[in-house]
Amino acid sequence: MYTLAKGYLILMARHKEFNPDRVLEKAMQLFWLQGYKATSVQELCNEMGIKKGSLYDTFGDKQKLFLATLDHYSTLSESPNSRLEKLGSAKAVIEAIFNELVDLSVEDKACRGCFMINSIVELASNDPTLALIGSSVRQEYEGIFYQLLLLADAAGELAPNRDLTALARFLTNAMFGLRVTAKTTRERAVLEDIVSSTLAILG
């Protein structure tokens, strides 16, 4: 809106008539279902219930909105520390991470898989920003698994003389692979077989 003050025309910031967090969630769900390239700005506006001007004013552009949805998605999972407090065993936390992914996959009627992994697979080879995010996500999970493996090893929960760095990388790759497989099937038996074989490597 505009107002006059001391002879000057001043542009006043328009009060947002929507909840940015709520519309960000809606954008994330659409990107998650359709992918980045297949989702148009107009479709985003329709799903979010806002005009293009509001989208650009609040989020910048389609790419910045997409990156914001990825950041939002990364905040939704439970932290390893809170899991550890509940379960009291690092090995049990690793098992819980994989078992919960099976539950999520079985409940996912659209077989969407993981939004973050889908995005990395779709865009990382051609988008330096997504390539960097993908590398960061991989390293983050490797670090999480490595710390859990250190604790499990100290508690005698693992077979002796294991290469914990290699194990952490294996678990990260297995987790990513499980979520990609979940885009092709919701059959619990299939996913549980994969998890069982994966966890067997821990000894």
**pLDDT, tens digit (0-9, with 9 covering 90-100), for 155-181:** 999 989 999 999 999 999 999 999 999
pLDDT tier for residue 88 given thresholds of 50, 70 and 90 = confident
In this prediction, residues 127-156 reach a mean pLDDT of 94
Q: Is the pLDDT of residue 9 over 70?
A: no
pLDDT band at 77 (very low <50, low <70, confident <90, very high): confident
Tens of pLDDT, residues 36-69: 999 999 999 999 999 999 999 999 999 999 999 9
Q: Angle 140-115-176 (CA atoms, 0-180°, nearest 5)? A: 50
How far is residue 138 CA from its own chain's centroid?
Answer: 11
pTM attached to this predicted model: 0.83
Distance CA 157, CA 160 (A): 9
Residue 148 pairs with which residues in a beta bridge? none
Going from the N-terminus, what domains does the chain have, and what CATH number goes with each?
18-73 (1.10.10.60), 78-202 (1.10.357.10)
